[in-house]
Structure 1
Amino acid sequence: MKKLLSEIRACEVCSAHLPLGPRPIVAAHSEARVIIIGQAPGTKVHETGVPWDDPSGRQLREWLGVSDEVFYDETKIALVPMGFCYPGKGKGGDLPPRPECAPLWHQKLWDSMPNLELIILIGTYAQNYYLKGQMEKNLTETVMSYRNYLPKYFPLPHPSPRNRFWLTKNPWFEDMVVQELKNRVHRIIKIQV
């Protein structure tokens, strides 16, 4: 695993397309039991090199019901984006994750983590890649149908503060889905609820 993580962190495959240059962000360990697949690092995470070190990460830790210490314990939770580097800005926010990363690195990471029990798919990029033809017609319906993807996958919306409107419009998410997510994650990584 150490060799693989070094290779990922040294990757420059798409450096010509990265406005801030390559800085692959990933956290994983061979003992990890849960993996969170997000989109791509934002500018703050690019600066710090710490995955989910932003308001979205704070919201995600709330949804999971875990402390920073547990969240960043790589032996429990692996943090792997669809695109490992900051992709740049677009009209409505950051650009999509670079398409080179997931096909190049994800399977190698999975092969190095034999104890994985739950793959949390955050946002449509991760869901499109992993759920392929099994997704519902949109993110809301896919998240609402989360039970259809268990026990392997757990689809979530992005925890960005920009999604406040979505969360307000879909109160069932925090009432029903977040509690199920917490229960599963706590059971898998052995946290007392």
Structure 2
Amino acid sequence: MDSLLAAVRACRLCEAELPLGPRPVVQLGAGARILIIGQAPGTRVHATGIPWNDPSGNTLRRWLDLDRETFYDADQVAIMPMGFCYPGRGKSGDLPPRPECAPTWHARILAALPNIRLTLLIGLYAQRYYLDKRFRTLTDTVRHWREFAPDRLPLPHPSPRNRRWLMQNPWFEQDTVPALQARVHEVLSTKPQAGS
């Protein structure tokens, strides 16, 4: 795991395309039982190098019912975004994750995480990459989360920009979040498999 982390952090694959330069942000531990696959770091996360260290992360931790200590314990929670570096700003928010990251790194990282029992797919980019295309929208995909459970759960992005979506879809926090919290606690209450 140490050599893989060093290789990820040394990645310069799309350096020329990154306005703030490369700073891959991941959290990996061989014992992790939960994997969070989000979009890409924002400017605050880029500045600190700590994943989900922003208002979106505060909301995500509330949805998961995890304190910061547990969330940032790499032997419990692994974090691997679709794009590891801040991609820059577009007209209506951050640009999409760089397309090079997932094909270059994800399979290698997944192979090094043998104990994952729950993968959270946050946002449209992660869902399109890892789930079948039977649902056309993020809302439909998240609404049908039971079809992917118990091993994978699609979630909307917890960004403050998504307040309107949350208001228009109250079922998410009423029904999905309690089920998500129960599954997170169930997974974290189990010990990693021997030999990890």
Task: Give the TM-score normalised by structure 2.
Answer: 0.95
Structure-1 residue corresponding to 2:50: 50
**Same amino acid, percent of matched pairs:** 57
Instruction: Measure the CA separation in 1 of the matches of 2:136 and 2:39.
Output: 20
Matches within 5 A, 1:75-90: 75-90=75-90
Structure-1 residue corresponding to 2:166: 167
* Shift in Å, 1:133: 2.6
Verify the 8 A CA contact 2:83 2:98 in the aligned structure 1: yes
SS in 1 for 2:154: strand
SS in 2 for 1:109: helix
SS in 2 for 1:28: coil
* Shift in Å, 1:110: 0.8
* Shift in Å, 1:116: 0.6
Structure-1 residue corresponding to 2:156: 157
Asked if 1:61 corresponds to 2:35, the answer is no
* Shift in Å, 1:132: 3.4
Task: Give the TM-score normalised by structure 1.
Answer: 0.97
Structure-2 residue corresponding to 1:127: 127
Instruction: Measure the CA separation in 1 of the matches of 2:44 and 2:115.
Output: 31
Structure 2: gaps (5+ residues): 191-196
SS in 2 for 1:132: coil
SS in 1 for 2:131: helix
Instruction: Measure the CA separation in 2 of the matches of 1:96 and 1:5.
Output: 23
Structure-1 residue corresponding to 2:136: 137
Deviations for 1:50-104, whole angstroms, at most 9, x for unmatched residues? Answer: 0000000000000000100000011000011000000000011000000000111
State the AA in 1 paired with 2:167: T
Structure-1 residue corresponding to 2:12: 12
* Shift in Å, 1:152: 2.0
Instruction: Measure the CA separation in 2 of the matches of 1:128 and 1:182.
Output: 23
* Shift in Å, 1:151: 2.0
Deviation beyond 4 Å, 4+ runs, structure 1: none
Structure-1 residue corresponding to 2:175: 176
SS in 2 for 1:155: strand
